[in-house]
Structure 1
Amino acid sequence: MRILIFFFALGIMISCDSKEEVSNPKDSLQVSSLSFPELAPFSIRISHVKGDTLYFVDEAGTRLSKFSLLDRQVSQVEIDLIGDFRPSKMHYISADSILFYDGARLLLYRAGGTDQQTFSLLEGLAQISGEVYAEFPYERIASSLVYLKELKSVLFYFAKAEKEKKRIFAAYSLESKSWTSFPIHHPSEFDGVELNYTTFPSVAVGQTGFAFIYSISPAVLTYNLDSGEQREVPISSFGGRQSAEPQTLRDTWDEAYFQNWVMTSPNYLKLLYDPYRKVYYRISQMALGKEAPVGEDNYTSLLRNRQLYLTVLNEKLEVLGNYPLEKGKYDPSRAFVFSKGLWIPYPAELMENEGLDGDLISLA
């Protein structure tokens, strides 16, 4: 199971010639402890942050909960999803429109449940066959569904181990029930590389489109929905090794090799967009470069010892600051943005209590 965790929690990067400049967080960042003990009894596995509210549903899809991140109030309403629909992702569009996903279908929940509509993602995929990689669309590119409001569509990622250059993103329209692929490709470093399924991007929707990163690349890429332009900017967060070997398809997997790869590779963990300050946050990790101590597994050792960096970029992908974060303190996978700033939780594996503990990071 640890190996499976590594697949989705870790990654690598590409080389670039630009020299990083590490800023002192005491000069430009305000860091304060912010915990949410009120959420301890609830599961937030299926959740979405919109504005200053965290929305989440239970695994059975029978109760929608709303948690105010400002006044800490929790409210709940019963929901009744049609058929055998069990959500694994969600996006809270508005009070009258919630979008759910169950791994194969989308469900649009409206009018308090009296108006529900399902969409099969497999139907219509032939429309973009040959344009994207011939693989089922993945939603595992953000903590919640990536919804493109202007297009009324959900963004999905397509990946497969092929050398042929194809598009990697397509959107499913809730209005036309059809697919549209975008002229977006792997970062240029991976042209002709047979990437396998350990490579998933982190996507953040901005003002005019969206941006994404690969865990194995220091490149930040943006796509403008109006102009159809893709930009790629390699951005270094730290010195030393900037990239590692892509995990291509292999005849056999050597566990010792893969665990060493995890421990000694740099990793780009998370990209988020802050609509309040109109900046992007990228959280990255320099290579640990050492084995786990005797008696401690690799995953826990990584949590305790990895050095993370927070890089702040404007919408032109210019670096506004690059800050080292306290070593071994954070779990960026569940970080989110709200009006007060960027919230990053502590790793649950290293915490004694069951509450949601973390730090609020804001720009000075």
Structure 2
Amino acid sequence: EIVQPGYQRVYLRDHKTWTEFTATDRVVFYKFTYTTDMEAQVLTALNGHVINSTMSNVLLKKVNDKEFEGSLSSINRYWGGPKDVKIFFNIRFDKVPKALKGWAGNRRSEDLNSIRGDSAGVAALFDVKAGDEIKMKIGLSYTSMANAKNNLEVECNTWDFDKVRNESRAVWNEWLGRMQVSGGTTEQKVKFYTDLWHVLLGRHMNNDVSGDYPDNTAGKRDGNFTDNIFKIKTLPKDANGKLKYNMYNSDAFWLTQWNLNVLWGLAWPEVQDEMSASMLQYAENGYKIPRGPAGGGYSYIMTSCPTTNLIVGTYMKGLLTKYDINTAFDAVKRNALPGGMLGDSADIDFYTAKGYWPGNAGITVEAVFQDLELVFIGEKRLDMYFL
């Protein structure tokens, strides 16, 4: 098996097939190479668990002999968030399969037309000879099947697998090459750059190339979950029609002021700028700045307002270029007040009156640190006015 940024290759011994894939921002590109004559099946199984959520309410529709599209709901995620996150897709093959079959639960369709169910999928059948290749592309969207199709056509309008792989490799080389090291062993360098790779992973772009994105911030909160109301919104564009920034899902920014924020500011300032703008867009949509946004909504994972550290750090370094500072300050400030992300109103009132968080020294340290950051950003704004 080979695993590299933007590329993976593995031999499926039982199926006597080499499987490779590469990717763009919103498209996954597979290449299957068969080592013996066989009837090959490429299965798209949309059932069961994916990481910490479950696929359900699957819709599959045949577009033509080489293409199908559909949607599913991602539910029951472990860490909270919107209860129902919609995912849309467009899937294409470079060759016409001899059959395109579908299933949903115990129902079978020998000729896929349209099928729906909580456990569904598609089997594309091909007669292949040793050395034959089958290629498959999957365009993804959080907003619509039309946007999934458009994402695929805009980002990956070729069947040249190596071309897409090399383009992905070039992107990663540029990103990882911003930090150069000398000395040490090969193993140490592999470890170093693997860790840098992880620094740039874990944040998932959720808007389309068109700028459409899912807004799942509205709805009644239920613990760490939200009975979300699905909306589609569109990101602002500049005078040339280019998106000002992208929207992201992310793990929580808890304690990242000690590590991630520092590294981004040093080597990838545009990431820190764009991520800050994305978090502030969440606040514009749903009032709160997320700790770690999931599926276009709030997960309520971890404690306090850790994204304050990211946004204030971005501004204090002079890197906040994609969002208005006055709007940003207002959002960060209200996020620390009742109704924001800091905590329950009663606990905030206690903290405001007493100067410490009830029964929790850790949250006290977090809240005080974030309050101090509000002072810093407020003072800098005043300096701007009186210069």
Higher helix share goes to which structure?
2
Which structure has the greater CA radius of gyration?
2
Q: TM-score, normalised by structure 1?
A: 0.28
Q: TM-score, normalised by structure 2?
A: 0.27
Higher strand share goes to which structure?
1
